[in-house]
Structures are given as C-alpha cells and as structure tokens.
Structure 1
Amino acid sequence: MQLAPRPDPRPCLALRPHALVLVLCFLGAHGARAQQTTAPSHLPEVEVSGPRDAAIGVADSASEGAVERESFRARPKLRPGDIVEAVPGVVATQHSGDGKANQYFLRGFNLDHGTDFAVTVDGMPVNMPTHGHGQGYADLNFLIPDLVSGVRYRKGPYFADNGDFSLAGSASLDYLSALDAPFVETTLGAHRLRRLLAAGSRTQGDQTWLGAIELEGNDGPWDVPERLRKINAVVRYSQGSPAQGFSITGMAYRSRWNATDQIPERLIDSGELPRFGSLNPTDGGNTRRLSLSGKWFDNGPNGRTQFSAYAIDYRFALYSDFTYYLNNPALGDQFEQTDRRRVFGAQVSHSLPNRVAGLDGLLSFGAQWRGDRISEVGLYPTAARQRLATVRNDKVAQDLVSLHVQQFVTLSERWRGYAGLRGDVLRYDVSGREPVYGAANSGRGSDAQLSPKAGLAFAVAPAHELYLNAGVGFHSNDVRGATIRTDPQSGLPSDRVPALARGKGAEIGWRFQPDDGLSVTAALWQLQLDSELLYVGDAGTTEPGRASQRRGVEATVRWKASPRWRYEADAAVSRARFRGVAPAGEGNYVDNAVERVFAAGAIYTDGPWTTSLRLRYMGPRALNTLNSVRSRANTLLNVGARYAVSRELTLGLDVFNLAGKKANDIEYLYASCTASEVARGECGSGIEGRHVHPMEPRSVRISAKWTF
C-alpha cells in the first residue's frame, strides 16, 4: 500500500510580527490550561509524534521512508536547510551567504539549488521554476526546524503523484498542528549568532491555534561580516476530527545578508587572500516569502479525499561575483539576479479500495495545477550593487497542469504491485523587456509528457521483502531557454531547448525489518536523462548538455538498540557519465557529480540528558569532464547535547565541525581573474583553477528553552 499522507488538519493566517507576538502571548497564557482541560480530537498526538517510517507490507520501494521527529530534532543544524540531510544520501552545503538556498547533492547529482530534488513544506512546493538564480531553486531558509513533525521521502521517478523536479528524489516536510506546551528558546553562538524562537498552541474542542515567531542574526566566520538578519513567522488554525478536517496556514519570512562567494584557491595558497576572505564585500542579497495555504480531507466510507490550495508572494535579489575582473577589468564582474513572482496552486486526490480481476486493490487518482506569474526575472551587470546595464529582463507566465492515476493490487499473500500513469502539460509565455534582444527572445509555447510508473513487492519471509521499481519522470527547464533566439551577451544565435527534460529510472531493493527496532534497506538503481540542459542564470543563456546515465547502490540502517540508544548509518556510491562519444577536448565524466556519501549518527537519551553525534563524509568528485581535476573529500562531525534542568528549563550545547577540519563546502573549476592579476598583466583569457567556499570552522552554540 502507498505511503499515504497523514490527516493534516492545521491552520494559519498571515499576521505582522507585532501581531504574532500578541498571539503567542495569548497562546502561552492559555495553551497549557486548555490542553489539560480539553481533550483534543483532531490528532494532535499523531502530529506531535510525526510520521512512522515505511515498513514491510506497506512500503512500495526500498528507497522510500519517513524520518521520525525524534531522529532529526536532536541533530545539530547549522542552517535550516540541513534538515534534508535526514534523507539518506542527501548532502546540503552552502557556497555563498546563509540567506541563499543550500547546495544539494544526491544520487550522482550536483543538484545545484534543487533541480531534480523536489521539496515541499506543509504541502507547498519550494522549488522555483524559471528562477532568477537557477532552475528549481529551493530555498528552505523560511523553515523553522523546531516545528517540523517529520520528513517523508522518496527517491527515483517511480510514483505517479510525484512530478516536476523529482527525478532524483523528493522530500515532504510537514509542520506540527499542536505543541506539547508553549515555549521560548534563545540561542547564542560564535560569530555573533543570535536566535530567538517563541511558539505555542491552544486547543479547545476540535479547534487548535498555533503560532511561532523566529528572529535571527549571524555574522559568520567571514572576514566580511555576513550580517544575516531574518524574521520568520507562522500562524495556523486547524479544526476537525480523524475522519474530516481542514486547516489554514500563513507564513511570513524576510531576510538580508552579505555573502562571501567562492574564491580562487590560488590566492589562498599564495597568502594573498585569507581562507575566509572575500574579493567583493558588496556581494549579498535579500529575499521575502509570504504564503497562505489551506488543506481539507475526508476519510469516509467511499475512500479518502484530499484537497489543498496555496498562494505565495515571493521577492528575491542576489548580488554575486564569481569571475571578479575577467569580463570587465575596469568595474568588475558583479551581477544582480532578481525574481519577483506570485505562485498559485491547487491539488486534489482521491483513493478508494476496489477489486481488479477478483483481487483486492487501491485506486488513487488526482489532479494538480501550479501557476507562476513572474513580474520580473532579470540579470543585470552591477558595481557595488548599482546596475550598469541589462542582460535580461523578462515577464513570464507559466502553468503546469497534471493528472495522475495509480492502481495498487494485492496479488497474493506474498506479492503486491502497482502501475501508474502521469500526464503533465506545461504552457508558458515569455515577454522580453530588454530593449536590444528582448523582443527576439520572447515567445509562447507548450510541452507535454506522459510518464508511466510501476512497482512490484515480494515478501521473501516475514522480515524480508524485495522490490522492483521503474518509471519515467522529468524536470522542467527554464522556459526562457525554450523561447530564446539570440545570446544576450554576444548577440550570436542561440539554440532553443525543450521545456520538459525526460528521464527514466529503475531500481532493485531489499528491506529487512525483524522488529520495530531495526530496519535495514539496500537499493541498486540507475537513471538516464535525455540531456543535462541547464539555463545559466549568470549569463542569461541556455547551456546545452549531453545525454547522461547514473547508477549506484545505497544502504541504510536504523537501529533502536535500547530505550537509551539509537543508531543510524547511510552509505551511497554513485557513478555519473555522459553517454555517447565525447566531443574533442572533453571526457564523459559529469562534472561535480557526487560519488560517495557516508553518514552515521548516534543518539543517547537517559533521563534529562539527550546527546547526539553526527558524522558526514562526502568523497572526492570530478571537477571537469576529463576527471583530470578532482575535489577533495570533506568530513564533518557535529555533536549536540540537551539537559532538562527542570520541567520548565532545558539547556543545550551544539558544537559544529568538532574536529576543526579545514575542508570545503563546495569546489568548482573555472577561469577567473582578480584586480591584482589584471594589474600585473597575468590575466589573458582568464586563469583556470579551483574556486572554493570553505566549510565553517569549529563553532559552539548554547541555548536555553523555557517551557510554560
């Protein structure tokens, strides 16, 4: 049977920060009394505990599951987006300021900021198509990890209800609808890290209000202080019972920051630039995200029906400088990327038991719509954040409409399987407003794809199960690449690309689960892409890519050894290659494709003590298609401890990069030129070499949490 979403009655309303403070005061004053005197009937207990992991007899693949709240809440998290590392095999790093989306790696992909890894929060998509910085940009900085009830994940294009950006995998993060008690938590750390979080909920009858507000500031270890400043808020109202309910949720997020982008390693080696230095102190950005969403569900005698809708208002401006003085020796190569959009969407699904050829089954079907109304997606050369010219300035409208159906069948006591079909139609309209090439690069069009899916499960023994899964999927390309005619930088003709890029994958998996305390999974998988097309936001053009193939093996272990000890371990080995004969001067390695990932952790709980130790290793990878230059491995060790002094007060200590490793979060190979190199006449057509963004040094954070 399919991993079905939990009944999710929860609320929200967009309020200004000062109004949220009043709401939280109200929740804090009345929440505990209300929860004690009124027995809530809309699943707060289920929501607090979060989802349960996939199990034998229920799971449909070896690479799907759910990470329970207890497993990830004790882990130290340097950034909000680090929570996706709860998904086995996923690595989340950063190559710029902490207000920017993470850099993600999974299954032989350098996913950039989210392409081919679909993320949703509370049912709303996070990935942004046709984004100013990069296709599928998934910024999780608006997330409040303390409110996440669980992380459900799938890997591979095997399920009909997963669509755009989910070729490599998907992660669904759900928020709690009720808290055990209202609380206020303060955190102080190295490099002027300050964080304040206040949250609470109030339940009366079948109605619950939940509110939270977060304030954070951080300078980071960089020579140019990051000066991250952010405010984050959530308000939710939910009502109903396990049979039927609804919720309304509002979220508000705003941040601004300075950024230290990657720098040439040659300058670090020569001593010309400190490891945490910057070549442009005016890099950085600001972003805003407001959302209102609603959910309704009904579990009746005729099956389960779910409906959800959302509206998002999004603003983004980013100032970056990766090549310094290579293209403009006088003013520098800084550029601004902007994105202003409103996103609207809705989805409905229904599932009901049925019979197929005399066999018990479950039929699921649904429809999805997402509409992006982008008033400005632009690229501008800048100097000290002042615009010098316009490369691209476009107005874009795009709609993705999807239908999906999937039939599950119990074939016998040991065999079960499913077959599904998904259809997607993308329509787009690009209006170029750059005066020279804008009209030529404008246009409208559509693209469509049918994606079949299938899976089979066989119970070898009560504790062993085997899986076979296969499917076709896709990711959308930046639609500006589907209408482009002329390279806006050079004025030369530019080839158009399809709006939807097709991929197909398959895997064989095994799950061993002798009891609730131990789960072992393994999967052998492969994935083929028709092309590695990429819209390059830094240049305003489409970078053509070749067909590729990835394959690998993954294994996970989850073991509750005793009431005190919980152990976890994940390992993933991948191989990514371009298919066909390599062009002259190139090889078949997919540059920056992750090859080896290993993670392990232990959580110890004894009375008032909770301690977590987490190790993550990411191995070397090719930095060019010839594999002549490779990145270095990096190993990160974090430790966290919590001590409940009393029922009201809990103290915390987190240590990041405990071993003090001098590794890099990201490495690239390309040509650049600095101002000093221009002055010395060393530049020419650029100096090729490694460009790195260092992993943050050892740092400590302490926290105090007051529960009311």
Structure 2
Amino acid sequence: MKYTILHFGMFLFAIHIAVAQGTLTGVITNSENTPLPDANIFIQSLQRGTSADKLGRFQFRNIPPGDYNVTVSNIGYASVSQQVIIKDGETATLTTALTPGGLLLSDVVITGQPDHDANTISQVDIKLRPVNTSQDILRMVPGLFIAQHAGGGKAEQIFLRGFDIDHGTDINLEVDGLPVNMVSHAHGQGYSDLHFLIPELVDHVDFNKGPYYADKGNLTTAGYASFLTRNSLDQNMVKIEGGRFGTLRNVNAINLLKRNEGNKRENLYIASEFFRTDGYFQYNQYFNRINLMTKYNTTINDNQTLTIGASTFTSSWDASGQVPERAVESGVISRFGSIDPTEGGETSRTNAWVKHTVAQDDGGIFENQLYYTKYHFKLISNFTFFLNDPVNGDQITQSESRNIYGYHGNYHRESLLGQKTLLSKIGAGFRYDDVNDIHLYHTRSRKQFINDVARGDIDETNLFAYVNETLYLSHRLSLNAAVRLDHFTFNYTDALTADYKKQSVSKAAVSPKFNISYNATPNLNLFIKSGIGFHSNDTRVVVAESGEDILPKAYGIDIGGTWKLGNSIIVNAALWTLDLDQEFVYVGDEGIVEPSGKTSRKGIDVSIRYQVAPWLYFDTDVNLTDPKSKGEPEGQDYIPLAPTFTSIGGLTFRMKNGLNGSLRYRYMGDRAANEDNSVVADGYFLADAIVKYTRTRFELSFTAENIFNTKWKEAQFDTESRLFNEAEPVSEIHFTPGTPFFLKAGVSVFF
C-alpha cells in the first residue's frame, strides 16, 4: 500500500512539474507602431528563439518559472534586451518597439521554423542589396538569373535550379497576394511580367525553393517568390535618374494620410514611376513604362487590420529580337542590329485588392483577400525570318485580353497537443481567368495581317484548399505535414471552327508535403524537405490531350541547413533533387502541342553572408545543377539552355557619413543549347557598381552596369531560320546582345 501511495505521489509530482510552466507572449512593432513580421525573439539562458508573425506577435510555451533576459532584434533595427519574469501557469506579456539602427548580422536568429531557412537570407538581402529595377527584385532569389530578349517590355526569361523557366512555367510569383503568372497565356504558360511593381516600394521578399509549401500551388516546382510592398512610407520621396541611351526614370512616393495615435494606425500613400529609354540597339526601342499605385492600411481595432490597394501599369516598345550568329559574323548586320526591326509590343495591367486580417481571442489569425486584375497583351515577334514564308517573312503577333478574379483565405493558430506545441494552418480559395480573344496570327511589318494561326476564348478555374500542421516535439525539433488539393476546370472555344463548340476538361491534383527541422545548436538549424508539386498545362494543351497528363507532378527532396558562424557569417546550403513527370507543352509561337518528356535535376545551393567589418559586407550564392532528360541515351539527354553553374555576389559598404555602395558580379557557365550538347550557349561574367551618398533630406546615386564593357549574349536559342537571300535554312545560336557599359546618375529628395 505504501508503494502505491508513493507511486501516486510521484505521479502527482510529475504532473506538477509538467504543468509548472509559464507562457511568454508579445507584440513587436517599429517606432511608428507598425508590426514587424519576422522580428527575432531570443531567450538566451534557454537558447530558444522564434519569429514574429504577420501581426508582429510571438509566443513561447512551456517556459520554466524564472527571471529571463529576452533579446528582440530585426535586421536594420537596434536590438533591445528586457527582463521578463515567468510564473507557474501564468502568461507574461512583452511589448517592444524597435528603432532603426545599423545592419548587424549578429541580430539574425536561427530559428527552427521550417519555412524560415531561406527567409533568414532574405531579411539580410532586402536591407543590404541595392535595388533599382524590377529585374533586381527578381535577383533577390539566390541562384535566380534572368534574361531580357525583346526590347525591355517583355517579361524576362527566368533560370533557376537547372530550369529554363521561360517566362514562369516553374516558379510561382506573387505581389501583395496577387498572382503574377498568367496561365494559358498567349505567349507561354505561366508568363510573368513583374514590371508593374515599383522596386522602391518593396518591403519584404518571401522566397523558397522546391515544391514543399502547401500555401503555394500551381507552378511551384523550382520554387516561389512573394513580394510585399510597404504598408506605409517613412517619408515622401521624389527621385529622378538619367543615363546613357536616352534613359530617364522618375519615381514619386507621397503620403496622403499618416496617423499613428495609440493603437490606431492609418496610412495612405500614392506612388508613380515613369521610365523611358531608346536602348543600345541600332534601331530605337522607344521603350516607355508608366506605373501608378496607391495603398491604404489601417488598424480597425486592436485585433483587426484592413488593407486596400490599387495599381495600374502600361508599357510599349520596339524590339530588335534575337539575331543569328552568321548574320553578325558575315557583316550582314552589326552586333546590335536586327533582321526584323518591326518587332515590339504593348501591354497593360490594372489591379485592385482588399485584405482583412483579424486576430481572435484564442490566438488564431484569420486572413481574407479578394483581388481583381484587368490585363492586355500584344507581342510582335519574328524568330525564323523567312523559313516558313519566303515572301512575307515569318513575323507573328500574339495578343489577348483577360480578367482575373480571385480569393484566398487562411486561418492559423498555435495550440497544445498534450504538452507539445501545434501550429495549424488551413486555407482555401479560387482563381478564375476569363481570357478573351487569345490570338496568334501571321503579320508583316507589324501592321499587315496575313492569316490566322489560332484564335479562341479560354475560361480556366482553379479551386484549392490545404491543411498544414507543424508539431514541435521540442523547442529544437519540429515535424511539418501538409496536403493541398487543387481542382481545375479548363474551357476552350475555338473561334476558327465553323461551328460553336466549347471544349471542357476537369482535373484534380493532390500534393502532400513533409518537412523536418532540427535546431542542432542555437546557431545551426538542419532541415529535410520533401513534397510533391505540379504545374498546369495550357488550356489548349489540356483539351487537345483530352485531359491526359495535363497536371504533371514534380517530386522534390532538399537536405540542408542554416548555420551562423559567430556573429558575422551566415551560411545556407542544401543538397536537392527534383523530378518532373511527362508533360505536354503548348508552343505559343507556332500554335502546336509538343511532348517534352520526363526530367531529373539534382544539385547543391550555397549562400554565404559575411559581415567583414561593421561597415563592409560580402555575399555570394553558388549553384551547381545536373539537369537530365529521362529515358534518353547518354550524351543525348541534355536539357537545352538548363543552367549548370551560376553564381551571384558582391561587396557592399555602408559608412556612417552616408557614403554607401556595392560592387556586384553575375556569372553563368556555358550550357547545352540542344539535346546532344553539340551547340553551346556561351556563359558570361559581368560586374556592376553602385555608389550612393545618403543624407536625411537627399540622396545622390551613380550606377555603372557592365563596368568592363564585356561583350555577352543575354538570351540564346538554338533556332532554325532562313535569311532572305538563303536557299536553305540554318540551325545555330540566335541571341540578344547584352547591355554594353551603361552609366546613370540620380538624385532623390526626401521630405
């Protein structure tokens, strides 16, 4: 009996010990009472860290009673340490407002949150790297390369993780929750034109690689990038820049309303961008772009925020296109000349969105967003010159108009499963693309219509839902399991058939994910990521293939970690593999369907950020990839234009006297341009420099691109073409020459 009493007493004591824990919660803001998402909170004596959520909130559970020193930090802000007393079964609250400060890598905290490994690098880069164009914004993703090959107004060609992504087939891009990718686009699946984003307004870049994230669906195979614009402006700004080749740029950002009184915050600003350039080609590009944006953000009460945004963008340009090597080498045209100088295009996009966020009493956060986009596109191209039509030439025009309607909502909450912390997130939404008069037709000299190739209307609907659960087995080890369901309905009406007939196909995809994160030490987080993703095919492919193999899956695994060495070096590295199923591709330039087969990619990504001195920083990204086509004989299994070795990096300095700048490089190695590597796309090494002098009321800037005036090929394709005077076609590299040495200067005024 006495042993039973003793055992019962020990059991009660064990329960007491388990329950004798406290909780620490709080909110992190800046000095203007604006929440700081991803701010770092660290309890030194327990060696436990976490990050603030979208409302700046954080929570530690199961803290033993005691007196603790808690450090709060965020890149670009002065860190703060405070004493907090934790009592049995009670919740302590810590509210901290951070003030702007120096950029110190010592402020970075390595957490065990599965989706924060790459964002640790992102927090540093957005504060450190100079951003002058929307192209620079895309380069925030480590290992991502871009190429422009149509006069500056066309969306960039994207390369990442051994993919020639074209204009967006295998990367999911968003701005403020709005999709950038255009599905079933006139020019190519996933076409992503980011030129409607004003780079000076970008506040945060959320990116990650691979198909491992349940809230990212269609096109998330190589990875995703989500750009968030500022909710408020620190100050008004007027910027004017000018440079070689008739380049002029003006950016204005003005506060219309700025009120911060207690817990009430209200901000409204308007911004504009005007850009024009003649370009460095023989024929004037006449490129111009106009952007307008406004954004309103307010706290309805202590637990609710409302954001309303609107933007509009328009652009037009002439282009010199890709030129064949033989024409340049024989002197038919110069390096910056053109076979068909009547190429070009025009596009516009108008967006409106509203987002409501509410924090509930149980700690959950409920987010809802509605959005609408009106889009217009017209592109005139000539890739083969006189191959198909020796009289009129092979110029084509692609055009479309579309409306996009969408909604996405999610609810996430932290709770207890026994004594373990469980972070749950569920979400759902839809996207409906109403594409009118999607058109491919043969033209001459941009104006003369010759004949239709393809024409019709597309309706594409994507319904989705997901469940994402993260179980923290300890403050070091977490398991993440998730599943996403996508359902598509594809409708196509062919306008070139005699009778009206709507072709319709429906298909669903289930995408499971499983990730492990382990904080081996306070400065080392290890992870294993695995998951299945997909990208949809063009609606015209779907109906042509009767719904077979139209949502090809991607199977990925990443193994790696994030390591902080001392207070000055951060390393993020991963070994990865990614396999894609059979798919069919709609070739928008020809209006035909082609199979592309199965592929396999494996590689290693390494990113290093090093604070050499309080004022000097070094960064580099190195990416090695082995991309192969499956089922092909050895030596015939190269994937055309897939990058195998890329690196981006540089040195950045920031002096206390306001002088700051950066010397940056980009390197892409030679890569196969066809399946047997008998044609090679030349690699290149480029260097750019930026110097700025920043004071309270103004900033002077000087930018030099391609400082060594390297002759390089920005975009390259192995294309069969025929010139006007040739009897037989020739297959060889066709390229767009990269920018020569370019210099621009600018002045910004703050008030």
Do they superpose with TM above 0.5?
Answer: yes
Assess if the C-alpha contact under 8 Å between 2:51 and 2:111 holds in 1.
no
Matched, 1:610 2:660: yes
Assess if the C-alpha contact under 8 Å between 2:325 and 2:733 holds in 1.
yes
Q: Aligned equivalents of 1:376 and 1:2: distance in 2?
A: 50
Hey, what does 1:529 align to over in structure 2?
580
Hey, what does 1:15 align to over in structure 2?
none
Hey, what does 1:28 align to over in structure 2?
none
Hey, what does 1:22 align to over in structure 2?
none
Which structure 1 residue ranges, 4+ long, deviate > 6 Å from structure 2? 1-5, 41-46, 51-54
Hey, what does 2:122 align to over in structure 1?
67
**Which of 183, 202, 226 lines up with 1:172 in the alignment?**
226
Assess if the C-alpha contact under 8 Å between 1:61 and 1:469 holds in 2.
no
Q: Aligned equivalents of 2:641 and 2:381: distance in 1?
A: 20
Q: 1:64 to 1:578 in 2, by over 3 A?
A: farther
Q: Aligned equivalents of 1:107 and 1:169: distance in 2?
A: 9
Assess if the C-alpha contact under 8 Å between 1:189 and 1:700 holds in 2.
yes
- Residues 654-684 of structure 1: CA distance to partner in whole angstroms, max 9, x if unpaired? 000111110111111121011132xxx3x2x
Q: Aligned equivalents of 1:497 and 1:411: distance in 2?
A: 42
Matched, 1:116 2:175: no
Matched, 1:499 2:554: no
Which gives a bigger RCO, structure 1 or 2 (Cα 8 Å, sep 6+)? 1
**Which of 604, 609, 612 lines up with 1:558 in the alignment?**
609
Code of the aligned partner of 2:313: Y
Q: Aligned equivalents of 1:44 and 1:99: distance in 2?
A: 40
**Which of 167, 182, 203 lines up with 2:258 in the alignment?**
203
Matched, 1:388 2:450: yes
**Which of 52, 56, 60 lines up with 2:111 in the alignment?**
56
SS at match of 2:612: coil
**Which of 622, 625, 634 lines up with 2:672 in the alignment?**
622
Report deviation, 1:497. Answer: 4.9
Assess if the C-alpha contact under 8 Å between 2:128 and 2:652 holds in 1.
no
Report deviation, 1:377. Answer: 1.1
Q: 1:324 to 1:295 in 2, by over 3 A?
A: same
- Residues 551-603 of structure 1: CA distance to partner in whole angstroms, max 9, x if unpaired? 100000112333311221100000111111459xx811111111111111111
Q: 1:179 to 1:160 in 2, by over 3 A?
A: same
Hey, what does 2:639 align to over in structure 1?
590
**Which of 704, 723, 732 lines up with 1:674 in the alignment?**
723
Report deviation, 1:301. Answer: 2.7
Hey, what does 1:374 align to over in structure 2?
435
Assess if the C-alpha contact under 8 Å between 2:126 and 2:204 holds in 1.
no
Hey, what does 1:270 align to over in structure 2?
330
**Which of 478, 499, 510 lines up with 2:561 in the alignment?**
510
Code of the aligned partner of 1:603: T
Hey, what does 1:250 align to over in structure 2?
310
Report deviation, 1:463. Answer: 1.4
SS at match of 2:181: coil
Compare 607-616 and 324-333 and name the one that shifted more.
607-616
Report deviation, 1:286. Answer: 0.2
Q: Aligned equivalents of 1:466 and 1:81: distance in 2?
A: 31
Matched, 1:571 2:613: no
Hey, what does 1:6 align to over in structure 2?
54
Percent of aligned pairs with the same residue? 30
Code of the aligned partner of 1:338: S
Q: 1:176 to 1:62 in 2, by over 3 A?
A: closer
Q: Aligned equivalents of 2:124 and 2:242: distance in 1?
A: 24
SS at match of 1:220: coil
Matched, 1:194 2:194: no
Matched, 1:144 2:198: yes
**Which of 330, 341, 356 lines up with 2:391 in the alignment?**
330
Report deviation, 1:62. Answer: 4.5
- Residues 31-73 of structure 1: CA distance to partner in whole angstroms, max 9, x if unpaired? xxxxxxxxxx999989x99x99783323447555452376467
Hey, what does 1:298 align to over in structure 2?
358
Compare 506-515 and 449-458 and name the one that shifted more.
506-515
Q: Aligned equivalents of 1:278 and 1:44: distance in 2?
A: 55
Q: Aligned equivalents of 2:293 and 2:202: distance in 1?
A: 12
How many pairs were matched up? Answer: 653
Assess if the C-alpha contact under 8 Å between 2:490 and 2:542 holds in 1.
no
Assess if the C-alpha contact under 8 Å between 1:655 and 1:698 holds in 2.
yes
Report deviation, 1:355. Answer: 2.8
Hey, what does 2:144 align to over in structure 1?
90
Report deviation, 1:119. Answer: 0.7
Hey, what does 1:397 align to over in structure 2?
459
* RMSD (Å), alpha carbons: 2.5
Report deviation, 1:244. Answer: 1.9
Report deviation, 1:230. Answer: 1.4
Q: Aligned equivalents of 1:313 and 1:69: distance in 2?
A: 34
Hey, what does 2:533 align to over in structure 1?
473
Assess if the C-alpha contact under 8 Å between 1:61 and 1:457 holds in 2.
no
TM-score, normalised to structure 2, is: 0.83
**Which of 600, 609, 615 lines up with 2:649 in the alignment?**
600
Code of the aligned partner of 1:326: L
Q: 1:612 to 1:151 in 2, by over 3 A?
A: same
Hey, what does 1:17 align to over in structure 2?
none
TM-score, normalised to structure 1, is: 0.88
Code of the aligned partner of 2:677: N
Code of the aligned partner of 1:300: Q
- Residues 131-170 of structure 1: CA distance to partner in whole angstroms, max 9, x if unpaired? 0001000001111101101211010011111101111010
SS at match of 2:200: helix
Q: Aligned equivalents of 2:374 and 2:497: distance in 1?
A: 27
Code of the aligned partner of 1:653: F
Matches within 5 A, 1:425-440: 425-435=487-497
**Which of 468, 484, 499 lines up with 1:406 in the alignment?**
468
Q: 1:629 to 1:61 in 2, by over 3 A?
A: farther
Q: Aligned equivalents of 1:418 and 1:652: distance in 2?
A: 45
**Which of 716, 723, 733 lines up with 1:690 in the alignment?**
733
**Which of 689, 713, 725 lines up with 1:639 in the alignment?**
689
Code of the aligned partner of 1:520: V
Hey, what does 1:454 align to over in structure 2?
514
Assess if the C-alpha contact under 8 Å between 1:76 and 1:640 holds in 2.
no
Structure having the higher strand fraction is 2
Compare 324-333 and 293-302 and name the one that shifted more.
293-302
Assess if the C-alpha contact under 8 Å between 1:639 and 1:656 holds in 2.
yes
Q: Aligned equivalents of 1:454 and 1:640: distance in 2?
A: 42
Code of the aligned partner of 1:214: E
Hey, what does 1:422 align to over in structure 2?
484
- Residues 10-45 of structure 1: CA distance to partner in whole angstroms, max 9, x if unpaired? xxxxxxxxxxxxxxxxxxxxxxxxxxxxxxx99998
Matches within 5 A, 1:345-364: 345-356=406-417, 358-364=419-425
Report deviation, 1:86. Answer: 1.0
Q: 1:133 to 1:531 in 2, by over 3 A?
A: same
Hey, what does 1:236 align to over in structure 2?
295
Report deviation, 1:473. Answer: 0.3
Q: 1:392 to 1:576 in 2, by over 3 A?
A: same
Q: Aligned equivalents of 1:99 and 1:163: distance in 2?
A: 27
- Residues 491-526 of structure 1: CA distance to partner in whole angstroms, max 9, x if unpaired? xxxx87533121110110121124564310110000
Assess if the C-alpha contact under 8 Å between 2:558 and 2:577 holds in 1.
yes
Q: 1:110 to 1:55 in 2, by over 3 A?
A: same
SS at match of 2:211: coil
